[in-house]
Structure 1
Amino acid sequence: MKKLMRRLGLVVALLALTVVVSSCGSKPLSSRNVLKVDQQSKTITWGVKADTRLFGLLDTKDGKIKGFEIDLAKAITKQMLGSKGKAKFIQVTSSTRMPMLKNGNIDAIIATMTNTPERRKQVAFSNTYFYAGQSLLVKKGSRIKNVKDLNQQKGTVLGVVGSDSVENVAKVAPNAKVLQLTDYAQAMTALKSGQGQALTTDNGILYGMSVQNPDYVVTGGTFVSEPYGIAVDKTQTPFRQGINQAIAELRANGQYQKILHKWFHNVKGFDYEEAAQE
């Protein structure tokens, strides 16, 4: 009888523990303090791209994601949490990054994400860490020299689902057809196969594609400003302020410039002053 009672007691205790753990896991993001949690765990979980050369690209040799945003996220993490601070990376795409932030799967998004009025309705942005501009990538010798040519020739422009680039080009080139792909790797494949005459997104991303694909060039200058910011939940003001302070400190101590130079010094035509604007 005593053994039975002990077993029943153990079952009740386990059930109670399960309820407690479940209730903690269902705690809404708005009631959490991400900064305090990260300070305790010494870890910030970042949502990053893994298909974008120069910014965040998966290295198949060692399985690690590498790029400007990866190094910057690591530097921000240590600036905020100290030398023992660790940056954890979770792969996102243009279409999954916002839901993953809202669901609490990641603490912040650093994934070539443009700070726009529409997005500010859903998330809060840090200060600009990379000042990009939307442009076009075309094959060398293409008749498309700028976005006006794309409009006049009623060509097909390729973009990525979840990116604001497609909406932007529709405004400046309403006669152009639009084909949206899941990610930039698929978009580049579509451009090579002739499914479109141009691929459009931020010039920083396009420069990375041109480095990997020398037969393709960035053309036409920029027709829309695309300032990149780190996105966090709108309720996490202390966390956002901490990120802003860390970025300012990295700019002041020269680490930001070193990271920028590391990833873009071999890119023909890259404008450091423009990219480093705040």
Structure 2
Amino acid sequence: MSKKTLRITIAGLLFAAIASTQAAADALKDIVERGSLSVGVKADFAPWGMRDAAGNLVGLEIDLAQDFAKRLSKQAGKDISLNLVVVATANRMEFLEQGRIDVLIATMSDTPERRKVVGIVQPDYYSSGIAVLARKDSGINGWESINGKAICGIQGSWFNKDYGTKKGADMVAFKGVPEAEAAFLAGRCAGWLYDDSAFTARIVADPNKWADYAVATPVVADVPWGAAVRKDEVNEPLGAALSAAIIDWHKSGLISELEKKWHIPESAWVRSMHEKCLAGDKACASVREE
């Protein structure tokens, strides 16, 4: 490479770095100037994100997105409209990276791997864990009671061993969720070991179908859900504004109120975060402790 080419390459890299920094610093300013906020949400995970009979997007996370837009409007002194963009598990981080959305609130578990890709702000806003769904007359009423019973699961799930086999259950593993659900409903298993939020989604979406079933064990192995901005914006004004909103959602009890609104069973994690945020606990800080 010639010295001239090297200088051009270095200059290009520096320009790109400066442009990236400026874009991050101006993200919230851009939202205010255009008067709209784009938030990525789910449409297939009731009651956190779904469509009503009229086709409108509704749910707990949609309510949170609306609240955040109202907060930005108040902060800006002008109306900031909310543009809801439907995302899927497979593309939600990509939409954020590409700038197709400003913020992501879409049932995304907060993991170290995902924090390398997008800017998950602190604190987290919700959580889900592992539990067993069973018929109300199954005799399952806690983790110890699955001993000796056939329990449906998904092949490759890490919790099959820790919360199934080690509890004495006879794990019957299936290729995917549809197969496990069908086998469970057909009575091939006494219970179904899976994510509790998936159970809640089914019960809320089709209460008649699931009227004879209930979550029969305490929820364990909680994995919090994070809201995100682009990675280079997490410590910039937009990330800070989202973090402040989440802290207030916990302090005010808004998330607990929305659970009641959407008929979601009370989350012990949400209740704990409410108490921690009121007490000023570090779990409710806007900066993650690594």
Q: What's the TM-score once normalised by structure 1's chain length?
A: 0.69
Matched, 1:273 2:271: yes
C-alpha displacement at 1:178, in angstroms?
4.5
When the two structures are aligned, how many residues end up with a matched partner? 240
Structure 1 counterpart of 2:133 = 137
**For residues 249 and 134 of structure 1, do their structure 2 counterparts lie closer, same or farther at Cα, with a shift above 3 Å needed?**
same
- Answer 1 or 2: which has greater strand percent: 1
CA contact 2:250–2:273 (8 Å) conserved in 1: no
Question: In angstroms, what is the RMSD of aligned CA positions?
Answer: 3.7
2:176 corresponds in structure 1 to 180
Question: In the alignment, what sits opposite 1:121?
Answer: 116
What's the counterpart of residue 92 of structure 1?
Answer: 87
What residue in structure 2 maps to residue 37 of structure 1?
Answer: 30
CA–CA distance in structure 1, aligned partners of residues 105 and 41 of structure 2: 6
Specify whether residues 92 and 133 from structure 1 end up closer, same or farther in structure 2 by C-alpha distance, changes over 3 A only.
same
Of 148-157 and 131-140, the range deviating more from structure 2 = 148-157
Over 3 Å counting, the alpha-carbon distance change for 1:158 and 1:249 in structure 2 is: same
Residue 221 (structure 2) pairs with residue 224 (structure 1): yes
Taking the aligned partners of 1:30 and 1:235, their CA distance within structure 2 comes to: 8
Q: In structure 1, what is the Cα distance between the partners aligned to 2:240 and 2:57?
A: 26
Shift of the 150–86 alpha-carbon distance from structure 1 to 2, 3 Å rule, reads farther
Question: Which AA in structure 2 matches 1:68?
Answer: L
Q: Distance in 2 between matches of 1:169 and 1:233?
A: 34
Name 1:110's counterpart in structure 2: 105
Task: Measure the CA separation in 1 of the matches of 2:103 and 2:39.
Answer: 5
Q: SS of the counterpart of 1:235? A: helix
Kindly indicate whether the alpha-carbon contact (under 8 Å) linking 2:125 and 2:250 is maintained by their aligned counterparts in 1. Answer: no
The CA distance in 1 between the partners of 2:184 and 2:115, in whole Å, is 31
Tell me how far apart the structure 1 counterparts of residues 229 and 147 of structure 2 sit (CA, whole Å): 36
Q: Is the partner of 2:111 in helix, strand or coil?
A: coil
Post-superposition offset of 1:251: 4.5
Determine the structure 1 residue equivalent to 2:69: 77
Matches of 2:130 and 2:194, distance apart in 1: 7
CA contact (8 A) 1:156 1:179 kept: no
Say if 1:249 and 1:221 are closer, same or farther in 2 by CA, change over 3 A.
closer
How much has 1:111 moved relative to structure 2? 1.5
CA deviation vs aligned residue, 1:122-157 (integer Å, no higher than 9, x gap): 222221212433323334444766677779767431
CA distance in 2, matches of 1:104, 1:151: 49
Equivalent residue for 2:233?
236
- Work out whether 1:192 is the aligned partner of 2:185: yes
Tell me, yes or no, if the aligned pair for 1:131 and 1:275 is still in contact at 8 Å: no
The separation in 2 between residues aligned to 1:195 and 1:119, in whole angstroms, is: 36
- 1:214 corresponds to: 211
Give 5+ residue unaligned stretches, structure 2.
1-15, 276-283, 285-290
1:124 and 1:75, CA in 2 relative to 1: closer, same or farther beyond 3 A? same
- Going from structure 1 to structure 2, the CA distance change for 1:121 and 1:173 (only over 3 Å counts) comes to farther
Whole-angstrom distance in 2 between the partners of 1:42 and 1:254: 28
SS of the equivalent of 1:217 reads strand
Q: Which amino acid aligns with 1:209?
A: R
Cα distance in 2 between the residues matched to 1:170 and 1:37:
49
Q: Is the 8 A contact 1:51 1:57 kept in 2?
A: yes
Code of the residue aligned with 1:51 in structure 2: it is D
- Would you say the 8 A contact 1:76–1:243 is kept in 2? yes
In structure 2, distance between residues paired with 1:144 and 1:98: 38
Q: Structure 1 vs Structure 2: percent identity of aligned residues?
A: 26
